[in-house]
Amino acid sequence: MATLLVGSFGLVYLVSAPCFFTSWLQFFKREAGNLSEEEKQLSLVTLVMASVLWPVVVPVAYLEQLSKAKEKQPRQIMPEAQ
């Protein structure tokens, strides 16, 4: 069971990582004209790191958003049983 789970996760990663990378690379190319050489290098490093680490960052960010949404929900008051 664990092997299947790891294999599925690996497959999703291998399919999604190039999609994220190409999307972010297109954005980077649009903005590259406004950046200095140092900023371009830093942006490329960030781009590579984001492509490698997205399987960790995306779920953590999602859980953070869920916790914020739960905090904003009004608490329901249950009526007393008679």
Closest CA to 40 of 52, 50, 28, 49: 28
Domain tally for the chain? 1
- 21 within domain boundaries: yes
% pLDDT > 90, the chain: 2
pTM over 0.85: no
Mean pLDDT of 63-78: 79
- 37 within domain boundaries: yes
- 69 within domain boundaries: no
- 24 within domain boundaries: yes
Find the DSSP H helices in 1-82.
2-31, 37-72
- 1 within domain boundaries: no
- 38 within domain boundaries: yes
- 30 within domain boundaries: yes
* DSSP code at position 33: G
Mean pLDDT of 34-47: 88
**Full residue range of the structural domain in which residue 22 is found:** 16-47
- 11 within domain boundaries: no
Give the model's confidence band at 82: pLDDT under 50 very low, under 70 low, under 90 confident, else very high.
low
**Residue-level pLDDT at 38:** 93
